[in-house]
Amino acid sequence: MPADTFFDLKAQFLQSGTSPLIEDIRIDFLEINPGDYKAKYVHIRRGEFTSLLHFNRADLGIGILFEDCNFLEGLHLEAVVVKHFDDTLWPENTSILFKNCTFHGRVEIDGCSLRQALVFYGCKFTKELTVRKSHTSHEGIRLEKCTLEDHLRISECQSQGDIHLISSNLQRAVVIEYCSAENLMFSGSNVFSMGLELDYNIARMNIIFLDGLIRGEVHFTAVETTKGGLRLFGSQFEKGFFIDYSTRGAAFQQGIYQYSIDSCKFFSGLFIKGTQGDKRRVSPVRMIIIELTPNLSGNINFSDLDVGKVFMQGYNNSANISFTNVAVNELTICETTNQGGIIFSGLRASRLQWQDDQEPILTRSSAIVMSNTNLGKALFFQCNFSSFDLIDLHNVILTDISSSNVTWFSPLQLENRRITTNKLELKKAKKQRKHYEIEYARNNLYRAFSSVREVYRQLKFASQKQGDMPLSLEFQRHEMHYYKQAVAVQRPRQWSEYLILWSSGSNNYGQSWLRALTGLLVFSALSYIPVGFYASSKLDYTHFATSWNDLPVNLKVLWDNIVMWVVLLNPTHRIKDLSDNIDDFPSIIYAFDLLSRIVVSYFIFQMVSAFRKFSK
């Protein structure tokens, strides 16, 4: 068509029915009003629009397709309606499609109501693209393989499908605000040169970043997911990624339901911040899933949240993951090797009632579960492990962790009812007199004791590395207690080990001199009684308590000779210190005196050992 000849496109639009393919045309300024469009479907290829193309409240039938078109000025679709769909003519589930088009002016999609999708494929924009107050009843809004040299703004749009950006080059800021969609998706090799803002949006399922490079900052403000969550896979974020719950409005109560992070690079960090202070409970998150891979790097920080489940798994090489002032119902770390950074600060059990996954009518107990995991140099600050109902640690390496102001779990939490259950099983097997079942139950009980003992052994070494001697001694006491229990149940019994451990209980495994002092007084008093009988002419053991009247009389005699007990408390006393007439007493008194010396010496040694606990 000659350069100065323009095609009468409005006349073509006035023809009812399906128009044939219109191609290689040139159109001047064109405004289509409600009465100017009667076509059912129009396909325009290689059209050049030298001035503004404006559709105003037009009913576009089942849709319109622009392919390889050049818009020299602008495009404005205002209150356009597409009510119908015919998959025989329109197989791509779209109502309006721009394919491989170039836009030199502003593109505005304003107040449109579409049955199917609004799609820009392979298009180039030199000015701003705005989609505002539009609605798609079956599909969504999609930009694929597009280049935008100016801003992209999607505002106040309601979509039953996805808002999806695929493999596009976005050179200025992208803003999506006050929108509702099934998913907000950013997939493929997207490049965001100036960042991304999501404000006051609702995604009924997920917000997904799959691959892509975001060079600018990412800000989420009052973003909510109804059922899904934020899923980050293989994306790179060169500047900060900020999600702030504190700026939510009254209409946005839930926030992001779940977080999934896998193989992303955060060069300046991911920061997810809940509401501080007494309003912390209004920042609940159902689940946080972090897949630790060598490709995951950067700082990831969760703060001031109440989380149902935190799950981490994999190999952490260079990521620094921190949980600050976070309440958790269930923390699970399994099959994990940590050579990066994991920090828990202010960790505690959640007070919210979280439903059980298997039985929704039930609530879950709070728990920490770790298995087959090397925590490496993980840090724990001001954590309250005692607030959790259950602690389950199996094949966990804890020797390199560091802690400060931590309230540690009790042995009962760590036992997790397993020892009680195994004891009952052993007792039941013994009643049935089945040798195989007895051995099986005994081995299970032995492993349960050994598992708890191993946890305290590693915590003891971790405390010693930090120079926290009192805490390491506390862990040592628990370690030796469970070692004693394990040796007691082991068959064949190791009598040497068992007797040493049994005797070590007299000073609480070197922790309590008071217990040793109590033993000294009690057993020396018991040793004094037979010595008192034989050393006193006023006592007769055959008539010590033949009647109630004899008892106070004989006890008074023992009290009057209490000096003998004091003498017996000195293991280096002379035998004549007991009485000047010691040669007149029966020879058996020498045996009781020897026994007394052994008992007293033993408990004095145990007292001295306990006093030296801080200098061992």
DSSP labels, 559-590:
HHTHHHHHHHT-TT--GGGT-TTGGGS-THHH
Please identify which residue in the block is written with the tokens 């087959």. 372
Handedness of CA 233, 178, 147, 70 (dihedral sign): positive
Under 8 Å between Cβ of 129 and 150: yes
Under 8 Å between Cβ of 600 and 569: yes
Do 368 and 299 belong together in one domain? yes
Domain end residue (candidates: 409, 435, 451): 409
Do 404 and 423 belong together in one domain? no
Under 8 Å between Cβ of 203 and 183: yes
Residue ranges, the chain, pLDDT below 50? 1-3, 250-252, 279-281
Q: Residue 384 has what DSSP assignment?
A: B
Q: Pseudo-torsion of CA 507, 513, 518, 524, nearest 10°?
A: 90
pLDDT value, residue 333 = 97
Q: How distant is the alpha carbon of residue 583 from its chain centre?
A: 77
Residue 449 inside a domain? The answer is yes
Please identify which residue in the block is written with the tokens 């070197």. 510
Do 519 and 580 belong together in one domain? yes
Cα angle: 283, vertex 216, 284; to 5 degrees: 5
Cα–Cα nearest to 77, from 110, 102, 101, 104: 110
Under 8 Å between Cβ of 287 and 259: yes
Do 425 and 388 belong together in one domain? no
Do 384 and 403 belong together in one domain? yes
Do 370 and 451 belong together in one domain? no
Q: How far is CA 574 from CA 31, 405, 581, in A?
A: 124, 52, 13
Q: Alpha-carbon distance 329 to 366, whole Å?
A: 5
Bond into 411 cis (ω within 30): no
Q: Alpha-carbon distance 153 to 175, whole Å?
A: 5
Residue 68 inside a domain? The answer is no
Domain end residue (candidates: 383, 409, 435): 409
Write the secondary structure of 264-280 as one string of H (helix), E (strand) and C (coil).
CEEEEEEEEECCCHHHH
What is the maximum alpha-carbon separation in the chain? 145
Do 483 and 534 belong together in one domain? no
pLDDT value, residue 559 = 64
Residue 258 inside a domain? The answer is no
Q: Alpha-carbon distance 193 to 173, whole Å?
A: 7
Please identify which residue in the block is written with the tokens 């000779």. 561
Please identify which residue in the block is written with the tokens 């140099």. 377
CB neighbourhood size of 62 (10 A): 20
Q: Do β-strands 39-49 and 63-67 pair in parallel, antiparallel, or remain unpaired?
A: parallel
Residue 603 inside a domain? The answer is yes
pLDDT value, residue 415 = 87
Do 465 and 576 belong together in one domain? no
pLDDT value, residue 275 = 81
pLDDT value, residue 53 = 92
The pTM of this model reads: 0.81
Please identify which residue in the block is written with the tokens 């509702």. 180
Domain end residue (candidates: 365, 381, 409): 409
Question: Which residues, in sequence order, are CB contacts of 434 under 8 Å at separation 6+?
Answer: none
Q: Alpha-carbon distance 14 to 22, whole Å?
A: 14
Q: Which helix (H) or strand (E) holds 236?
A: strand 236-237
Cα–Cα nearest to 400, from 450, 462, 358: 462
pLDDT value, residue 49 = 92
Residue 361 inside a domain? The answer is yes
Do 427 and 489 belong together in one domain? yes
Please identify which residue in the block is written with the tokens 């952490």. 316
Do 557 and 473 belong together in one domain? no
Do 519 and 581 belong together in one domain? yes
Residue 470 inside a domain? The answer is yes
Residue 280 inside a domain? The answer is yes
pLDDT value, residue 556 = 65
Under 8 Å between Cβ of 32 and 56: yes
**11, two tokens:** 């006349």
Range of the domain at 548: 513-615
Q: Alpha-carbon distance 591 to 583, whole Å?
A: 14
Q: How far is CA 419 from CA 28, 371, 416, 441, in A?
A: 86, 18, 8, 11
Residue 554 inside a domain? The answer is yes
Do 344 and 308 belong together in one domain? yes
pLDDT value, residue 356 = 73
**412, two tokens:** 């009962």
Count of domains forming the chain: 3
